Structure 1
Amino acid sequence: MHQYRSVFISDVHLGSADCQAEYLLDFLDNVRCETLYLVGDIIDLIAMQRRVHFPKSHQEVVQRLVRIAADGTRVIYVPGNHDEFLRNFCGQTLAGIQLLHKAVHTTADGRRFVVCHGDQFDQVVRCSPLLLLVGDRAHGLLLRLNRWFNLWRKLRKKPYWSLAAWVKTRIGQAKAFIQRFEMAALTAAERGQYDGYICGHIHSAGFRQGTGGLYCNDGDWVEHCTALVEGFDGSLDILHWSERPHIVESEPQPRRTPVPEWQPVGDQPLPGQVAARASRH
């Protein structure tokens, strides 16, 4: 059992054929946390308008999330563009899960992060429905190839590996878009005087250190099977979960170190006094 202070997952896309629900169920069975953030596109209502694909494993994910909330974990749901309908219920609590337009998460070391799906930074979604349609179709084809490729790998007893993610990292236009998206999120965080931004949406997990903040993307459960996890010291890591769970990236260093609250008892010296005495000897 893996214990974390906070866990962030997004872009599960329940209701679509590309959702890696089995890996997510295994993750939820083996991870415990104080706060679980569902950072949008958990349910793919757009895909379900075209074709409903909601097998037993998808139903079990929903049931598991409700059970996690009932067992005492704080569960916060920040809807995205594929489950945008749920934004109508933000400010309410459904089945023990709190729905918010955005959240502010304070890490154990005192940093404040905005938590939001991130579709507001996607200029394609905001400005060009035609480009979005073309992009969605190409992406859908790539995901179908990814399904067949990993079925072949499973038959050969090989672990999950994302063909779709590999292809996208070799397309210069895709990499440039990701960089613009990251900088837009960092700029928004800095303007709001936050220490960083946590989001999903673009199916590309990772970190980017800005001049005044840290961008964090928790990835997805369609191509990468990743989550952002916070340790009890406030450290942040990207965790990949399939047949071989492992940390794929840790936040850039240095990060803020909490300052201890020293309370001298009796004749116990303060830390500065200890250092001064040591320098005299």
Structure 2
Amino acid sequence: MPIDTAAALAAPPRTIEISWDHKDVQLYHLGLGAGVPATDPLELRYTLESRLHVLPSFATVAGGGVGVLDGLSAPGVDVDLAAVLHGGQHVTPHRPLPVRGEATRSSRVEAVYDKGKAAVIVLRTEAADADGPLWTSHTELYVRGEGGFGGERGPSVRPSTPVREPDRVVERAIREDQALLYRLSGDWNPLHADPDFARLAGFERPILHGLCSYGVALKAVADTLLDGNVARVRGYGTRFTGVVFPGETLRIAMWREGEDGSGGGGVARLEAVAVERDGAPVLGDAVVTYGP
């Protein structure tokens, strides 16, 4: 059934109350591969409740998260889950995320774009607590076979990767069970666990969540370029340009831009590829903005 664009855009925001505590944060960080080596003081900031800080990408799973399944439950959206891929994600934290929190989360379909052979649904989510706004996020869902309805194509300008060698390159191993652990943070899409469903969706076996790769890359930037200070992150967005299979290695290249050398803010551009498949693209057009 085609997407009813008018109904999706006219629907009021869906608002719910969410909460989380240190266990949710620790589980999320472990799902990204944090805690290796287990006694490393830098890793303990992700795993030990007495030292815990919160990676801003936790906003994508806080309270169960707003992702593929949430976007597909919007009014006017009735599509085959096997035809859906997570196309892109952006999170803007308005202040450091607390280790424990209660918040009101509102989400709505902000746009539906016609890409010809596919449609792109843009879901906007905002969260706030008693002290004010916490984060704003945008989720792009790519729905194969639902384009061609005569709608706007959407923005096409993308950030460019610097034409020089990256400032840093790191590799992060993706464990065989990493998707099984990450999905416990709330993304139950069977694409990441069920071999039969993965084949139905066109993959030889279950793939890692795009948002897991997203979090792995942000952690790498924070640990490598930001001295491990996750509170410096002001925004983070990427396109999902390919997939990672559990058991592969993610190679993340980073370029610094805009710093004045005085410890101020700047921009980090990054790309991520799968090493074992000859550098197959995974994340593209990725940008992390950060403060002092």
Same fold flag (TM > 0.5): no
Pairwise TM-score range, normalised by the shorter structure: under 0.3
Counting helix residues as a fraction of each chain, which structure ranks higher?
Answer: 1
Larger Rg: 1
TM-score normalised per structure 1 = 0.24
